C-alpha cells in the first residue's frame, strides 16, 4: 500500500479475537484515504470534522506513528501484561514539564481571574457600592450574573465544540475584562444590572474551557492533580481579592470611589491576559508551538489510555441525547452539583456581609477574607492529591461535606457576639464549596465522546449557576443580621449530598465490575481516538 495514499484510522474490535487481527496493529492501521469520508484523492491527509484531531495528526506523521507503535507493542504495563499504549505509555518528564510550564499557567490565571472578577462585587460591598442600592438589589446583582451565565453556557459550549478553543476562550476573556472595567462607570442599579449581565455571559467560557483543555493534555491520574492545581486559584482569588480590596480602601478621590478604581484596574489586567491567551495558548496538543513533532506524538499516545479521545469538531446530537436520556450518572451528579454549591453561591456573595455582622470593621472584614483563600487552597490541594495518589474520589468527596455541616450547625446555634466561633464556622463552610473541584475531575475522567464531554461540563456549570442564583435569595433583608433560614438551608443541602455521592460511587463500581466480567479472558482493543462515548466503549472504566 502506498504510504502517500493512506490515513491512520482506529481499529474497531472484532469479537473473534483472532491473533491476525491483533497483529495487524494494536492501536492503529493504515487504510486508504478514500475510506475516510471519501478521502481527497491522495492530495494530502483526509481531514474531516468527524475525525478526532489526534488521528489527523497521526495521519500527517504516519512514519513517526509506525515507529511509536512498534515501540508501544513492546511495552509492559504495571500488571506485567503486554498493554501497548493502553495505560502504559509513560510521558518523558521533560515533556510533562513543558505542558505544566506552558498550559497550566494559562488555566490557573483564567480560573483566578474568573473567580476574582466575579467576587469583586462581594468585596465592593464593604467599599460603598451598597450606597447606590436598596433592599434586595445587591442580591439581585449576583442573581442576574448567574442567569446570564446559564443563558450563555450552551452557546459557549457549541463554540468550543466547533472552533479553536484557545481563540474562543481568549476572545471571551478580553470581552469580560472590558465589561469589568466598565463597572467603574456605573452609579445606578440599572447600569450595574447591565454590566453584571454581560459579565455573566462572557465568564461562562472559563470553567468549561479549563476542564476541556485539561482533558486534552493529561491522563486521568494527572488530571486530578492539574485540575486541583488550577482550581486552587479560587483560594488564591480570595487572597488577592482581599488584598486588592484592602489596598483600594486607602484610595480617596473626587472623581472615582475606591471600588470603581478597583474594577477598572482589574478589568484592564484581565483584557491584557485575554490577548495573551488568544495569541499563545495552543488549541490542542497537535499545534502546541512549544512541542516538537516527536513530543507531540508522545503526548498523543500518552493520553490515548484515557479512552476519551482528544478533540472532534463535529457536533454529535446522539451523544447529547445519551447524556440526558441514557446515562444513569447524569442526574445524580447534577443533583450533587446543585446541592453542594448552594453554599458557594451564598458565601461567595455574602461572606463579607456575614463577617460584618460579627462586629468587624470594613477593613478588618476585607483582611479576614484572606484565611478563606488559604483554607480553600489547602482543601483543594489536599483532596486532589489524595485522589491523584490513591483514587477513591467518592470517599474523599463525601468527607468534605462533614466540616461544612459542622460549620452550618455552629452558625445557627451561636449568637453573633461570639466573633471567633462564628468566624471559624464560616470558614468551615468552604469545605463543601470546594467539592466543585472534584466534580470537575469526575466529569473529565468519567466522560468519553467529545460532544458529550463538553456538554456534561456545560450542564454542570449551568446547574452550578442555578445554585448561585438561588443562594443569594436565601439571604433576605428581613432576616438580617442572623439570616437563620439561609443558614438552615446551607445545612440541609450539605447533608443531602452524602447519600447521593455514595450512590454515584456504587453505580460506577458496579458498572466497572460488569464490564470486567464481560471482557474476562479477552484481549482489550484500543478505542482511544474513535470518539466513542463511555457507554459505547466497553473498555472504558469509571473512577469512583
User: What percentage of the chain's residues is helix, strand, coil (to nearest 5)?
Assistant: 70, 0, 30
Of all residues in the chain, the percent with pLDDT exceeding 90 is 43
The pLDDT value recorded for residue 274 is 97
Q: Is 164 helix (H, G, I), strand (E, B) or coil?
A: coil
Cα 532 to Cα 82, 450, 535: the distances in Å are: 23, 8, 8
| Prediction pTM value | 0.76
Q: Is the pLDDT of residue 18 over 70?
A: no
Mean pLDDT of 497-513: 97
Residue 461 grid coordinates: 456549570
Which residue is it, cell 446541592? 339
> Could you tell me if 461 and 207 are in contact, meaning their C-beta atoms sit under 8 angstroms apart?
yes
Determine which of 25-29, 72-76, 286-290, 383-387 has the lowest per-residue pLDDT on average. 25-29
| CATH architecture designation of domain 93-287+313-518 | Up-down Bundle (1.20)
Per-residue confidence at 441, pLDDT binned at 50, 70, 90?
very high
Tens of pLDDT, residues 217-275: 888 888 888 999 999 998 888 788 888 988 888 888 777 888 899 999 999 999 999 99
Mean pLDDT of 200-219: 90
Greatest mean pLDDT range, 14-23, 85-94, 293-302? 293-302
Per-residue confidence at 151, pLDDT binned at 50, 70, 90?
very high
The pLDDT value recorded for residue 501 is 98
The pLDDT value recorded for residue 502 is 98
The pLDDT value recorded for residue 294 is 87
The pLDDT value recorded for residue 25 is 36
> Could you tell me if 446 and 509 are in contact, meaning their C-beta atoms sit under 8 angstroms apart?
no
Helix (H), strand (E), coil (C) string for 131-157: HHCCCCHHHHHHHHHHHHHHHHHHHHH
Determine which of 130-144, 274-288, 304-318, 393-407 has the lowest per-residue pLDDT on average. 304-318
Q: Is 112 helix (H, G, I), strand (E, B) or coil?
A: helix
Per-residue confidence at 37, pLDDT binned at 50, 70, 90?
very low
The pLDDT value recorded for residue 531 is 77
> Could you tell me if 7 and 39 are in contact, meaning their C-beta atoms sit under 8 angstroms apart?
yes
The pLDDT value recorded for residue 58 is 61
The pLDDT value recorded for residue 473 is 82
| Better pLDDT: 245 or 34 | 245
| Nearest CA-CA partner of 199 in 137, 115, 127, 278 | 115
**Bridge partner residues of 31 (DSSP):** 7
The rounded radius of gyration (Å) of the Cα atoms in the chain is: 25
Determine which of 53-57, 65-69, 113-117, 397-401 has the lowest per-residue pLDDT on average. 65-69
| Better pLDDT: 84 or 525 | 525
| Better pLDDT: 197 or 161 | 197
The pLDDT value recorded for residue 98 is 93
Domain ranges of the chain: 3-72, 93-287+313-518
Mean pLDDT of 155-176: 93
The pLDDT value recorded for residue 529 is 61
Mean pLDDT of 352-376: 84
The pLDDT value recorded for residue 276 is 97
Per-residue confidence at 477, pLDDT binned at 50, 70, 90?
confident
Of all residues in the chain, the percent with pLDDT exceeding 70 is 80
Residue 50 grid coordinates: 468527524
Which string of DSSP letters, residue by residue, matches 33-69? GGGTTT--TTSS----TTS-HHHHHHHHTHHHHHHHH
Helix (H), strand (E), coil (C) string for 270-306: HHHHHHHHHHHCCCCHHHCCCCCHHHHHHHHHHHHHH
Mean pLDDT of 273-283: 95
Q: Phi, psi (5° rounding) for residue 29?
A: -145, 160
Amino acid at each position: 500500500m502506498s504510504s502517500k495514499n493512506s490515513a491512520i484510522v482506529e481499529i474497531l474490535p472484532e469479537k473473534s479475537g483472532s491473533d491476525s487481527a491483533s497483529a495487524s496493529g494494536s492501536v492503529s492501521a493504515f487504510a486508504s484515504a478514500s475510506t475516510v469520508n471519501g478521502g481527497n484523492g491522495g492530495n494530502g491527509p483526509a481531514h474531516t470534522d468527524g475525525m478526532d484531531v489526534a488521528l489527523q495528526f497521526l495521519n500527517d506523521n504516519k512514519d513517526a506513528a509506525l515507529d511509536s507503535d512498534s515501540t508501544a507493542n513492546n511495552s509492559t504495563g504495571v500488571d506485567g501484561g503486554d498493554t501497548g499504549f493502553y495505560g502504559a505509555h509513560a510521558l518523558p518528564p521533560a515533556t510533562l514539564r513543558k505542558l505544566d510550564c506552558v498550559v497550566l499557567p494559562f488555566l490557573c490565571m483564567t480560573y483566578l481571574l474568573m473567580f476574582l472578577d466575579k467576587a469583586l462585587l462581594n468585596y465592593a460591598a464593604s467599599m460603598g457600592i451598597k450606597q447606590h442600592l436598596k433592599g434586595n438589589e445587591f442580591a439581585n446583582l449576583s442573581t442576574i450574573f448567574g442567569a446570564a451565565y446559564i443563558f450563555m453556557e450552551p452557546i459557549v459550549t457549541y463554540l468550543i465544540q466547533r472552533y479553536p478553543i484557545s481563540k474562543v476562550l481568549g476572545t471571551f476573556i478580553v470581552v469580560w475584562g472590558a465589561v469589568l472595567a466598565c463597572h467603574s462607570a456605573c452609579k445606578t442599579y440599572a447600569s450595574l444590572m447591565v454590566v453584571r449581565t454581560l459579565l455573566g455571559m462572557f465568564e461562562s467560557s472559563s470553567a468549561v474551557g479549563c476542564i476541556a483543555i485539561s482533558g486534552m493534555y493529561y491522563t486521568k491520574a494527572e488530571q486530578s492533580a492539574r485540575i486541583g492545581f488550577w482550581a486552587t486559584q479560587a483560594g488564591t482569588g480570595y487572597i488577592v481579592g482581599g488584598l486588592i480590596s484592602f489596598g483600594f480602601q486607602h484610595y480617596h478621590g473626587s472623581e472615582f470611589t475606591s471600588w470603581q478604581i478597583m474594577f477598572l484596574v482589574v478589568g484592564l489586567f484581565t483584557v491584557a491576559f485575554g490577548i495573551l491567551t488568544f495569541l499563545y495558548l495552543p488549541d490542542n496538543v497537535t499545534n502546541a508551538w512549544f512541542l516538537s513533532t516527536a513530543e507531540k506524538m508522545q503526548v498523543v499516545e500518552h493520553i490515548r489510555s484515557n479512552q476519551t479521545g482528544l478533540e472532534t469538531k463535529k457536533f454529535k446530537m446522539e451523544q447529547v441525547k445519551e447524556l440526558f436520556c441514557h446515562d444513569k450518572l447524569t442526574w445524580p451528579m447534577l443533583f450533587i452539583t446543585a446541592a453542594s454549591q448552594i453554599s458557594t453561591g451564598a458565601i461567595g456573595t455574602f461572606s463579607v456581609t456575614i463577617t460584618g455582622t460579627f462586629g468587624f470593621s470594613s477593613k478588618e472584614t476585607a483582611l479576614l477574607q484572606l484565611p478563606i483563600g488559604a483554607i480553600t487552597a489547602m482543601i483543594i490541594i489536599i483532596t486532589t492529591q489524595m485522589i491523584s495518589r490513591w483514587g477513591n474520589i467518592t470517599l474523599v468527596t463525601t468527607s468534605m461535606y462533614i466540616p461544612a455541616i459542622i460549620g452550618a450547625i455552629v452558625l445557627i446555634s451561636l449568637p453573633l457576639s461570639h466573633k471567633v466561633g462564628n468566624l471559624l464556622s464560616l470558614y468551615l463552610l468552604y469545605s463543601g464549596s470546594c467539592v466543585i473541584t472534584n466534580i470537575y475531575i469526575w466529569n473529565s475522567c468519567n466522560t468519553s465522546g467529545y460532544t458529550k464531554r463538553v456538554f456534561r461540563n456545560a450542564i454542570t456549570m449551568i446547574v452550578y449557576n442555578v445554585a448561585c442564583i438561588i443562594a443569594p435569595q436565601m439571604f433576605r433583608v428581613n432576616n438580617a443580621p442572623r439570616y437563620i433560614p439561609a443558614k438552615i438551608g446551607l445545612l440541609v443541602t450539605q447533608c443531602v449530598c452524602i447519600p447521593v455521592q455514595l450512590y454515584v460511587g456504587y453505580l460506577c463500581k458496579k458498572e466497572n465490575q460488569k464490564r470486567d466480567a464481560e471482557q474476562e479472558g479477552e484481549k482489550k482493543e484500543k478505542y482511544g481516538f474513535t470518539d466513542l462515548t463511555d457507554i459505547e466503549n466497553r473498555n472504558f472504566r469509571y473512577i469512583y
